[in-house]
Structure 1
Amino acid sequence: MGAYTECNDLQSILSCLDHVPIGVFVLSRDWIVLFWNWCLEEWTGIPQEEAIGVAIKEIWPHLETPKYVNRLTPIFDGGPPVVFSAQIHRYIIPVLRPDGTFQAQHTIVSALPAPNNQEFYALFIIQDVTDLVAHIQGYQEIYQQTLNETRDRQRTKEILQRRNRELALLTRASQALTSTLDLDEVLNQVLEEVRRLLGVVASSIWLVDSQTGELVCRQATGSRREVVLGWRLAPGEGFVGWTAQTGQSLLISDVSADERHFKGVDQQTGLTLKSILSVPLRVKNKVVGVLQVVDSQPARFSEADLALLEPLGASAAIAIDNAALIEMLRQRTAELEARNEELDAFAHAAAHDLKGPLGYMVGFAKLLAQDYQKFSDEELRHYLNLIAQSGQKMSNIIDEMLLLASTHKLDDIPLMPLHMASIVESVQQRLRYTIEEIQVEITLPDQWPLALGYAPWVEEVWFNYINNAIKYGGEPPRVELGATEQSDGYIRFWVRDNGAGLTPEEQKRLFKPFTRLDQTRIKGHGLGLSIVQRIVEKLGGEVGIESHIDQGSTFSFTLKAAPLQAAFSEEDDT
């Protein structure tokens, strides 16, 4: 009952300490807990009602060991305060923090007069100094580090001076790389900055070919740069290929001991390379190329050189990507401008070319509608044939316009062995009326070599060449067709006429879209040769012209020769 009264009296006196953010408890001379504040309850999870009136040894047995009893006993006689520092005693009471570590504590135990003023209690004030200890330890580490740096001040000074020079060079490099959007100029700037930074024997920039995945050397420096420029390496081949494939930088002290070394470099350049430093050029987590520096001295490069080259590579990658985008934009702009000009010419040509046959159709139709009773059956058939011919001509013009448009859209054309005799026969059937009407003489070879192509398009090429040979040929027209096998694996197909021939200036204008050479003599629709060129180029070939005044003209196109097995199969089919 006496202890209970003491506790109540003490609770009243110390109530101001109940909610302070430090741990507070009070022990009587017989080591009974008389006061236990809210902070201790939070730290330990032991409620006040369970702690007050309980012997301390039941809560923390270690406090009644000689280590603590010897120091705390004088307190109960009004002795001086006792300090338990966190540097010596990590903690006086164990409090587990959320991170699993124990709280560091600074504890002061003071004599507290009892309410009866006849004895003293022990007042424990516990402060959580975990963060303070951590800061002190951090300051101690910094202090020790500062001492170490001070001992080697000259070396530190040299390192700082070097870093300042490197940062200045990197800053200048970044400014230089952003000063132009021309891709070739950007690549030159990158390698010039590498030379300034590292003073190497040779360096190179390799960019990934988006079509094949190969690495292409786009720019290089060194005594044999012309040998390396344009080289292609497969993904994973050599140090460059490895860097591009893995996206990791590479520091090699002696290439001869590394199986990834591409021996062709030494053989082709005549240089004996020892040290190599390769850095990936990365844009948006995608490797677009590799920056590589080489030297003839072993162990020429260090981790510091790598740390210097990597930020330069990052800046270079962004500059290269921007320049590539600008170059692509320029190409697209040029293509669009050319397409717009072509569309303008296309519209004019279409309007002009359709106007002629449409005029004939309308005129003859009106004539027949007004006075058809006056015409004989033979005259009616003649006019109706003229209307039909004009309609067919309009249909041919529209078909060629659609074909011209299709060559813009289709990219992947299936190349198949061509039965050229059948294709030429189809063209002759399309031109049968014209051939018979003006007595055209056509000479064909006995046998056609087998080529690869797309039959509907190749038929249109023959149609335009033969049709032009008839239109612009002699009187009567004589047209000769043939084919010549070339040593480069292509076949040259040709059409020769007996016309007036073309001047060199006219030949230059031939394959421009919608160009007519003889407006007064032939009112052609002007689409043919433009279509021919576009078709042949889509099929991987080339168009050609040989002409001399008064000696006629020979128009040609090339197609890839079919492999032998396709040729045998063609012979079996025939």
Structure 2
Amino acid sequence: MISELSKGHNLLKYIIEHSNGGVAVHDKDLNYIYVSRHYLEQYKVQDKNVIGKHHYDVFPDLPQKWRDVHKRALKGEILSNDCDPYQRADGSIEWTRWECRPWYETDGTIGGIVVYTEIITKQKNEKDELEKRLKELSAIYALSQNIQRSITLDILSNELARSLESILNYDYFAFLLIDENTGKMYPFTLSDQGKGHEFLKKDMDYVASCQPAVGKGITGWVAINGKSLKIDDVTKDERYFGLRNGIKSELCVPLKIDDKVIGVINVETTKPAAYNEYDINLLETLSASIAISIRNTELFESNQKEITLRKKTEEELRLKIKELEDFFKLTVGRELKMIELKTEINELLKQLGKKEKYEV
């Protein structure tokens, strides 16, 4: 009998120890009875010889919420969580999926608890990244639709500032266009930093007063070279020309129409190394759509001005023709009156036996 029990114990120990999942079996005093290697590895337990040791001696910094779960399970509850944060001793956060349930003696009393656990930090990060990308793609699609409907440059600039804020991680955003005559760059639109329209107007004046120009600073380098720049620490880049305090990271891409740089899109943040290659591709894709929209908007405004000018010219022509017609009517009327008077005079002279004075 003892041999059979020993054999069963060893078999269960072997099965659990080599399980692909994180499994720990505790007695009612929370001492380890069985534990899987995977459990010890994923929780980075240095001393693998934990059998017989109390769970809180192995994990002395275990949060109170886990201790409360153990107490409830020892009273018969089955508890679980599909995505629960776990803070390690070094302060890093892991995400776990777990279940804690009681196990029972042959007489039906609770003998301890079983903990099934898995670290899902990688899956959680991948899911978060996918959701982030989905949100970005949705925002990009919405931006593309909105900028295509922007029929004036003012509407377009407002739409850009509003939409890009939901896509990119930035503290400051600037969209600068190049003045071909002077080589200077002027702010087409900026982020209002959550401070409203009046602040934005003053900030536009401030940026313009700093005289950004082709070849000056990061934005000027991108403008003259037509290549994107991602700077992880601007304080270490000699090209940086700062307009804001505390900036660490900067991402700037050129705005091109038919390979001609017409401006730049620039984002900055106080966080170091905030941007990656994906962000560059994202902003470059957006800049292509924005450039097309600017060209279409400028063409639309140009056509509108042409239409307005033509309508104005047509109206002026109509008024001049009317004026001429009125003058002609007046002149013809005078001529007819003169003929009538001359005829009457001639008739009177004839009655007097005199010679007619006027040829009619």
When the two structures are superposed, what TM-score results if normalisation uses the length of structure 1? 0.33
When the two structures are superposed, what TM-score results if normalisation uses the length of structure 2? 0.50
Query: Looking at both structures, which has the greater relative contact order when contacts are Cα pairs under 8 Å and sequence separation is at least 6?
Result: 2
